[in-house]
């Protein structure tokens, strides 16, 4: 069974901050009476189970502050009772489902998932964390290389031109020296 028991009588279910690690079991989708699901601040990994879409009266899932990866299941968008959700502080990726329930959420519900996208038109890129100083330095190096190549290109043109002009001016005299 795991860390929960099977029942159709659940209303809220909270295991937040209990340092539970591993996958969220697919069998969680059998808890049909679940309205509130708070699994935040644990160590859950891998994908969000597709079976969450079986929780037809689910109103408020909070899966924030875990190490969940993969994408948010598209089928969650078909749950008509979803009102508040929180998927922030994970490693989720790919687009956010386009359903109305997801599109009307606060931007903070998806923050700090560097590869998650789909609300940029409304939220900007606020869900993408600011780069660390080391990442900023790494990002600036290619710009420095581009500037170096531009400088070399600018210097190369006049250098070749001056070399040709000077060579042309002195070339008749050089020929006289060798004759």
Q: Is a pLDDT exceeding 90 seen at residue 24?
A: yes
Dump pLDDT digits (tens) for 108-137. Answer: 899 988 888 887 777 776 545 455 555 445
H/E stretch holding 21: strand 21-23
Dump pLDDT digits (tens) for 51-103. Answer: 999 999 999 999 999 999 999 999 998 998 989 999 999 999 888 888 888 88
Please tell me whether residues 18 and 98 are part of one structural domain: yes
Q: Is residue 109 part of a domain?
A: yes
Alpha helices in the chain (DSSP H): 100-103, 120-123, 133-177
Please tell me whether residues 170 and 141 are part of one structural domain: yes
Between residues 2 and 179, which one has the greater pLDDT?
179
Residue 142, C-beta contacts closer than 8 angstroms, at least 6 positions apart? none
- Percent with pLDDT over 70 in the chain: 72
Please tell me whether residues 110 and 142 are part of one structural domain: no
Task: Lay out the sheet containing 36-38: strands in order across.
Answer: 12-14, 36-38, 60-62
Please tell me whether residues 28 and 114 are part of one structural domain: yes
Q: Is residue 7 part of a domain?
A: no
Residue 128 tokens, joined: 């993408």
Q: Is residue 145 part of a domain?
A: yes
Say what the pLDDT of residue 2 is: 45
Give 1's pLDDT tier (boundaries 50, 70, 90).
Answer: very low
Instruction: For residue 152, give its domain range.
Output: 131-179
Distance CA 40, CA 142 (A): 38
Please tell me whether residues 107 and 140 are part of one structural domain: no
Please tell me whether residues 88 and 54 are part of one structural domain: yes
pTM: 0.62
Please tell me whether residues 43 and 111 are part of one structural domain: yes
Of 97, 123, 149, the residue at which a domain comes to its end is 123
Please tell me whether residues 155 and 116 are part of one structural domain: no
Look at residue 71 and give its three-state secondary structure.
Answer: coil
Q: Is residue 6 part of a domain?
A: no
Q: Is a pLDDT exceeding 50 seen at residue 20?
A: yes
Say what the pLDDT of residue 19 is: 77
Q: Is residue 167 part of a domain?
A: yes
Between residues 147 and 134, which one has the greater pLDDT?
147
Q: Is residue 2 part of a domain?
A: no
Say what the pLDDT of residue 48 is: 95
Distance CA 142, CA 137 (A): 10
Please tell me whether residues 20 and 40 are part of one structural domain: yes
Q: Is residue 3 part of a domain?
A: no
Number of structural domains (the chain) is 2
Please tell me whether residues 41 and 95 are part of one structural domain: yes
- For residues 79 and 54, is the Cβ–Cβ distance under 8 A? no
Look at residue 95 and give its three-state secondary structure.
Answer: strand
Q: What angle do CA 91, 93, 99 make, to 5 degrees?
A: 120
Q: Is residue 112 part of a domain?
A: yes
Rounded mean pLDDT, 32-38: 90
Give 179's pLDDT tier (boundaries 50, 70, 90).
Answer: low
> Mean pLDDT, the chain, as a whole number?
79
Please tell me whether residues 99 and 146 are part of one structural domain: no
């Amino acid at each position: 069974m795991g860390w929960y028991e099977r029942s159709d009588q659940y209303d809220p279910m909270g295991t937040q901050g209990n340092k539970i690690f591993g996958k969220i079991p697919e069998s969680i989708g059998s808890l049909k009476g679940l309205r509130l699901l708070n699994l935040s601040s644990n160590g859950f990994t891998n994908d969000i189970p597709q079976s969450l879409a079986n929780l037809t009266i689910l109103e408020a899932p909070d899966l924030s502050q875990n190490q969940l990866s993969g994408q948010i299941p598209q089928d969650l968008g078909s749950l008509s009772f979803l009102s508040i959700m929180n998927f922030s502080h994970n490693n989720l990726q790919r687009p956010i489902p386009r359903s109305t329930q997801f599109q009307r959420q606060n931007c903070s519900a998806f923050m700090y998932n560097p590869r998650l996208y789909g609300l940029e038109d409304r939220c900007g890129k606020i869900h993408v964390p600011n780069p660390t100083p080391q990442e900023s330095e790494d990002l600036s190096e290619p710009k420095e290389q581009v500037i170096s190549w531009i400088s070399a290109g600018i210097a190369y043109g006049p250098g070749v031109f001056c070399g040709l002009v000077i060579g042309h001016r002195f070339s008749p005299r050089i020929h006289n020296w060798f004759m």
